[in-house]
Copies of this chain bind each other. A is one copy, B any other.
């Protein structure tokens, strides 16, 4: 894995998994699934694959101190700071500039900081193959073979196998597709030629910069200015500070991937992957007990309780459930959420309502 780098995108400030995740304490900074935070797990997952010197983190200036504390093994200079979020395109761009200056042969694996992957060994293997593919100047997206007709993920339709031979089948991308309705998701599963878009990408840093030049020239110009000021940390920060507010906010998917050339997909299966985007996704990630319940973070007593998530708020608080099926119960201290499992995506609507009402204390 020479010349290979990980770029962890840790800039999110979303309110997914609200009410535990909050505006100022986004999902990846929280110990949602155990002792470690999702960010820490993401860093740890690379151990054995890449030395810490080759793990970069792009984050919002606000959260940098916290993340540095959570991953003290990473070199200080590997934290790249955005003054304000501008979508994943600018995150990738900033990292690509940093890497091309450090290593002209750099291959970067772009990894969200808030996903879960159960099978680390397989993840390493898949990245090995993806890096091989990226070295042939492909922009590689890591696809996830669907295990159910998810409506919460984007999909990637694959075309022919790449002409080159790799240790794992890798395909040309025919089409990126937005989050589908259930019928369309089912149809894609039936066809068998679609993967979930995991948001993980592997490519040469110079290859993605070329695509920015072609498809997002304004971003490329800004990145060139940042690159020219790179050596002087203060000057660099000043240039980023003046360029960033003018950038259009775009995701790498919409900004580049949909119309890029030489885009490949590696459809991985068996990773045990989840974007942990809604509370019900914890059922894909955590083991449930014999009644199908997941109990986490607190004391629980029950009668006739099945298929439910009990996400408690510490050992001092007792949660009692009686005659309850398929519920999500989340206690964050100041907020209690009780939600039918198949409606977990509607938590977002409540967050939007609280935003409108300017009830910032709950955001």
Cβ A339 vs Cβ B362 within 8 A? no
Cβ A317 vs Cβ B329 within 8 A? no
Cβ A335 vs Cβ B350 within 8 A? no
Cβ A320 vs Cβ B304 within 8 A? no
Cβ B317 vs Cβ A335 within 8 A? yes
CA distance A196 to B275 in the complex (A): 56
Within 8 A of B (CB), among A294-339: 301, 303-304, 316-324, 327, 329, 331, 334-339
A interface secondary structure, majority? strand
CA distance A317 to B337 in the complex (A): 11
CA distance A337 to B349 in the complex (A): 25
Q: Does A102 contact B (CB under 8 A)?
A: no
Q: Does A353 contact B (CB under 8 A)?
A: yes
Cβ A322 vs Cβ B301 within 8 A? no
CA distance A190 to B327 in the complex (A): 38
Q: Does A342 contact B (CB under 8 A)?
A: yes
- A354 to chain B: closest residue by CB: B301
Cβ A322 vs Cβ B304 within 8 A? no
Q: Which residues of B contact A146 (CB under 8 A)?
A: none
Q: Chain A contact residues (Cβ within 8 angstroms of B): what range? A: 20 to 34
Cβ A317 vs Cβ B336 within 8 A? yes
Q: Which residues of B contact A331 (CB under 8 A)?
A: 336
- Among A301, A327, A336, A354, the one with the most B-chain Cβ atoms within 10 Å of its Cβ is A336
CA distance A224 to B180 in the complex (A): 83
Option from B323, B334, B335, B340 in Cβ contact (under 8 Å) with A324: B340
Cβ B322 vs Cβ A334 within 8 A? no
CA distance A324 to B337 in the complex (A): 11
26 residue pairs A–B, Cβ–Cβ below 8 Å: A19-B318, A301-B350, A301-B353, A301-B354, A303-B343, A303-B349, A304-B343, A316-B334, A317-B335, A318-B335, A318-B336, A319-B338, A320-B335, A320-B336, A320-B338, A320-B347, A322-B338, A322-B340, A322-B346, A322-B350, A323-B339, A323-B343, A324-B339, A327-B338, A329-B336, A336-B336
Extra inter-chain contacts (13) besides given A320-B337, A324-B340, A336-B336, CB under 8 Å? A301-B353, A303-B343, A304-B343, A320-B335, A320-B338, A320-B347, A322-B338, A322-B340, A323-B340, A323-B342, A324-B338, A327-B338, A329-B336
Task: Across the A-B interface, give the 4 residue pairs with the lowest CB-CB distance, nearest first.
Answer: A323-B340, A323-B343, A322-B339, A318-B335
